[in-house]
Amino acid sequence: MTRFYFYLMSLLLVAHHLSAQTQPAQLTTLPDVIQQAQSQSVAAKRANTQQRTNIWAYRSFLAQFKPQLSLDGSLPNFTRSYIQVTQPDGNIRFEPVSYNNSILNLSLSQTIAPTGGTIFVQKQIQRFDNFIQNNTLYNGIPFGIGLAQPLFQFNPMRWDKKIQPLLFAEGNQQLIESLEQVSLSATTLYFDLLVAQVNLQIAETNRANNDTLYRIALHKLDLGKISQNDLLQLQLSVLNAEKDLASARQTAAVASLRLKTFVGYRNENSGQSAPLELAIPNQIPVFEVDVKRAIDEAVANRSAAIGFRRRLLEAQRDLEKARKNNGLNATLTAGYGLSNQGPNFGDIYVRPQNREYVALQFTLPIMTWGRAQAIVETAKANRELAQQTVEQDKLTFEQEIFTQVTLLQMLRQQVTLTAKADQIGQSRYQIAQDRFKLSDLSVTDLGIATQEKDRARRDAILALRDYWQAYYTLRLLTLYDFETNLKIIVMDKVK
């Protein structure tokens, strides 16, 4: 009869506790949060903005190798003043001037990347109006072609054609890495909230269970089946459970706000004030990762691998620049065309005269007191440093991937073991609770069972957190989805 009474009392208290709880909100899954973060988060938008900057910068680089049509000049170019005029006897007179000297030049130019030179075609018209003498003159170049070619100089265009495509590819991969970093950050925040919610559930359950057991203990005390000390211990457990519940609610509220803020909820309509009930992602994907395959994919996909080649090229470029800029520098300028002048505009095109010019300008350092050699030797040392740094970074790069692959395999086993431990802990606690109700277990043993049950539950969630963080870290390090055996790509949205 006594046992039946305790069972009935327990069922009534548990039923009252369950009826007082509100219905849970719709569960939000980890893929939902990641998808939302990649489309709405500030971090994702910033990554896409950086990608657009990268694309337009590369298009600007490509445009400089195409023909450039430009119109320049001074129109009008009016002057009214006094100018100094030296007389034959050496005296100075100031004569009034009032004129307009306008000029327009239309040119089509094309850079020559292999040599660093520029070839151009031009058409020029000049008009001079003397308002004091009331006359007008025209001067023009109906057609002209020219060449400006640096000699023995550093050619930046030749190096840009090697380095800029690498910078562009590096920027493209950085976008993918940034979005994968968003996935990893969202996963971390997701599990921060999930752990907080699990702790809140544990606190609520413990508060309800301790309250139920305390009420049962009061009746057991009346029947002489429990000591006053055990009753006080249960009462203390109720108070501690209340304190833990308040702390768990605060932690869950903060974690929820951090996740919503990162993911991109901005107002009430988008869910900023709505509660998030997270689903436990305990269905982990099953796939094998070969370390060599992971390293190969990382080398093929990661921006860091592209950056290794770019950094070596930049170091070699800087060395060549130091050598050529501190030696003989010359520029050859040559042109051919037609030109004429006259009082009327049409006179420019009537029997124009040949127009030719050739100029060679050069600079040769003779005495620099070792400055040129010091600059070259510094560039050599920087190149060697870049080579050594890249080699070290490559080793770290491969080691990081190896560590992550082995960690993922180990964490998959941890998820399985902690899930089993969680089931055992829950079952053991239920048995301990039933035994206590039947006066077959001490309060101390019941407390131990409670602690082990809670620890097993938290360990299971933490193991899932570690696994999913390792999963998305491996995606970030390789930019490869081993679950689907596909490279991770992002479509170009810039038109």
* Residue 379, number of CB atoms within 10 A of its CB: 20
Q: Which of 235-249, 263-277, 324-338, 459-473 has the lowest mean pLDDT?
A: 263-277
Confidence check: pLDDT of 83 > 80: yes
pLDDT in tens, 418-429: 989 988 888 887
* Residue 435, number of CB atoms within 10 A of its CB: 15
Q: Which of 74-83, 326-335, 439-448 has the lowest mean pLDDT?
A: 439-448
The per-type count for the chain, helices as H runs and strands as E runs, is 9, 11
* Residue 220, number of CB atoms within 10 A of its CB: 21
Single out the residue of 148, 105, 36, 125 nearest to residue 342, CA to CA: 125
- Average pLDDT of span 372-395: 94
* Per-residue CA distances from 234 to 18, 229, 261 (Å): 21, 9, 40
Confidence check: pLDDT of 225 > 90: no
Q: Where are the beta strands (DSSP E) in 113-197?
A: 117-130, 135-151
In angstroms, rounded to a whole number, what is the distance separating the alpha carbons of residues 239 and 396? Answer: 51
pLDDT score of 495? 38
Single out the residue of 136, 252, 273, 281 nearest to residue 192, CA to CA: 252
* Per-residue CA distances from 224 to 52, 231, 237 (Å): 78, 11, 21
Confidence check: pLDDT of 45 > 80: yes
Confidence check: pLDDT of 452 > 90: no
Residue of higher predicted confidence among 276 and 228 = 276
Residues in the chain, overall count: 495
Which tokens belong to 360? 């060679």
Q: Give this prediction's pTM.
A: 0.80
In angstroms, rounded to a whole number, what is the distance separating the alpha carbons of residues 352 and 335? Answer: 16
In angstroms, rounded to a whole number, what is the distance separating the alpha carbons of residues 287 and 290? Answer: 10
Residue of higher predicted confidence among 442 and 51 = 51
pLDDT score of 286? 86
pLDDT score of 436? 67
Q: Are 447 and 429 in contact (CB under 8 A)?
A: no
Q: Are strands 277-278 and 27-28 parallel, antiparallel or unpaired?
A: parallel
Which tokens belong to 412? 């998959």
- Average pLDDT of span 241-256: 86
Confidence check: pLDDT of 111 > 80: yes
* Residue 324, number of CB atoms within 10 A of its CB: 16
In angstroms, rounded to a whole number, what is the distance separating the alpha carbons of residues 202 and 255? Answer: 17
- Sign of the dihedral defined by the CA atoms of residues 231, 237, 238, 239, in that order: positive
- Average pLDDT of span 471-489: 93
pLDDT in tens, 69-78: 999 999 889 9
| Full DSSP string of 164-177 | HHHHHHHHHHHHHH
Where residue 492 falls among pLDDT bands split at 50, 70, 90?
low
pLDDT in tens, 182-223: 999 999 999 999 999 988 888 887 777 767 666 766 766 665
Q: Quick one: residue 479, left, alpha or beta (phi over 0 = left, psi -120 to 50 = alpha)?
A: left
Q: Which of 56-65, 387-396, 425-434, 439-448 has the lowest mean pLDDT?
A: 439-448
* Per-residue CA distances from 472 to 34, 177, 249, 350, 477 (Å): 11, 11, 29, 76, 9
pLDDT score of 4? 41
Amino acid at 261: T
| CA atoms within a 13 Å half-sphere pointing along the CA-CB vector of 389 | 14
Strand partners, 336: 145, 356
In angstroms, rounded to a whole number, what is the distance separating the alpha carbons of residues 22 and 12? Answer: 18
- Sign of the dihedral defined by the CA atoms of residues 269, 271, 275, 277, in that order: positive
pLDDT in tens, 269-288: 444 556 788 999 988 888 88
Confidence check: pLDDT of 49 > 50: yes
pLDDT score of 11? 42
Confidence check: pLDDT of 362 > 60: yes
Long-range residue pairs from 304-310, CB within 8 A, at least 24 positions apart, any chain: 304/393, 304/397, 305/397, 306/166, 306/169, 306/170, 306/173, 307/166, 307/170, 308/390, 308/393, 308/394, 309/166, 310/163, 310/166, 310/167, 310/170
Where residue 442 falls among pLDDT bands split at 50, 70, 90?
low
**Residue 95, burial from CB neighbour count under 10 angstroms (0-12, 13-18, 19+):** exposed
Angle between helices 42-63 and 30-40 (to 10 degrees): 50
In angstroms, rounded to a whole number, what is the distance separating the alpha carbons of residues 478 and 291? Answer: 11
pLDDT averaged over every residue in the chain: 85
- Average pLDDT of span 432-451: 71
In angstroms, rounded to a whole number, what is the distance separating the alpha carbons of residues 361 and 402? Answer: 58
Q: Are 479 and 487 in contact (CB under 8 A)?
A: yes
Confidence check: pLDDT of 342 > 50: yes
Q: Are 436 and 446 in contact (CB under 8 A)?
A: yes
- Average pLDDT of span 379-397: 95
Where residue 9 falls among pLDDT bands split at 50, 70, 90?
very low
Rounded (10°) CA dihedral 461, 466, 471, 473? 140
Q: Are 422 and 390 in contact (CB under 8 A)?
A: no
In angstroms, rounded to a whole number, what is the distance separating the alpha carbons of residues 229 and 254? Answer: 38
Helix (H, G, I), strand (E, B), or coil: what is residue 364? coil
- Average pLDDT of span 405-431: 89
Which tokens belong to 241? 């459970």
Torsions phi, psi for 352 (to 5 deg):
-65, 155
Q: What percent of the chain has pLDDT over 90?
A: 60
- Average pLDDT of span 115-142: 93
Residue of higher predicted confidence among 150 and 7 = 150
Q: What percent of the chain has pLDDT over 70?
A: 86
Q: Are strands 353-363 and 277-278 parallel, antiparallel or unpaired?
A: unpaired
How far, in whole angstroms, is CA 467 from its chain's centroid? 23
Q: Which of 119-128, 430-439, 459-468 has the lowest mean pLDDT?
A: 430-439
